[in-house]
């Protein structure tokens, strides 16, 4: 009996696993300007209308300095 329940559970997980659990990720085309940033008119990042990437996650440059660059 336990083998049947286990097999049923595995079959249902494989069959419906992708539709039950979904992961959402918002992305953009990756186009950045010469400063390594881009406009974010919909503010999906929550950082405002413009933010930077240049090899890191979306971020702002406070006082014109990148928080990721070594000092």
* Residue 43: inside a domain: yes
Each residue's pLDDT tens digit, 16-70: 765 555 555 555 566 788 888 888 888 888 888 899 888 888 899 998 899 988 7
Find the domain containing 49 and state its range.
34-60
- Burial status of residue 51 (CB atoms within 10 A of its CB: 0-12, 13-18, 19 or more): buried
Tokens of 10: 């595995």
Whole-prediction pTM: 0.49
Which region, left, alpha or beta, applies to residue 15 given φ > 0 means left and ψ of -120 to 50 means alpha?
Answer: alpha
Could you give the number of structural domains in the chain? 1
* Residue 50: inside a domain: yes
Alpha carbon of residue 28 to chain centroid = 10
């Amino acid at each position: 009996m336990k083998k049947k329940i286990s097999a049923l559970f595995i079959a249902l997980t494989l069959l419906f696993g992708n539709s039950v659990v979904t992961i959402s990720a918002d992305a953009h085309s990756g186009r950045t300007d010469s400063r390594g940033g881009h406009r974010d008119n919909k503010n999906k990042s929550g950082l405002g209308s413009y933010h930077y990437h240049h090899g890191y996650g979306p971020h702002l440059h406070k006082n014109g300095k990148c928080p990721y660059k070594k000092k």
